[in-house]
Amino acid sequence: MKKILIINGPNLNLLGSREKNFYGDTTLKKIESLCDQHCKKIEIECMFFQSNHEGEIIEKIHSADKDFDGIIINPAAFTHTSIAILDALRATSKPKIEIHISNIYSREDYRRKSITSEAVNGVICGFGENGYVLAIDAIKNIIYS
C-alpha cells in the first residue's frame, strides 16, 4: 500500500484553543483521525508528525524520501520564514502538497508569501480541516499518475 506522511509545524498542536476565529474548534487529534478515516477509505497508509522545531521537521522530511510515497505538509509559521524547510522539500523527489487551514492570502501581508510552496506540487488553503482531505486526494492522484 502507498504510504504518505502528514507533517504539521509549530503551534498546530494547540489547535482547538488557538485563534479559533482562523482555525475553528478542531484539534490536531481530530484532524489526524479525519485523515486516518479518509486514507482507510481510499486505501492509502498515512503517518503523522508534528513538531514545533524547524530542525526536527527538516530531519523528518529527509527520512521521507525512502520511507514514504508522498508528503503533505502544513509548515505553519515556517511557511513564511524557512528557506531550510524549502531546501529540505526540494531535496526530496516524492510528491509534496502544502496545506493551510486558513486562507493565508486573506490575512496579514507577511502571511501572503509562502517560501516553502516553491518546492511543492500544489497548495491548498482556506478550507479548514477539510483541506487535509483534499490534499490526501490530490497526492493520491499524483502518486498514481
| Minimum separation from the CB atom of position 144 to ligand DQA (A) | 26
Cell of 31: 484532524
| Minimum separation from the CB atom of position 41 to ligand DQA (A) | 23
132 counts as catalytic:
no
Residues 90/113, Cβ–Cβ less than 8 Å: no
- Binding-site size, ligand DQA (CB under 6 A): 10
Task: Show contacts with ligand DQA in window 3-32 (CB under 6 A).
Answer: 11
23 counts as catalytic:
yes
Residues 102-131 vs ligand DQA: string with x where CB under 6 A?
A: x-x------x--------------------
In this chain, which of 6, 58, 70, 79 binds ligand DQA, going by CB under 6 A?
Answer: 79
In this chain, which of 77, 115, 123, 134 binds ligand DQA, going by CB under 6 A?
Answer: 77
Q: Contact residues for ligand DQA (CB under 6 A)?
A: 11, 74, 76-77, 79, 100-102, 104, 111
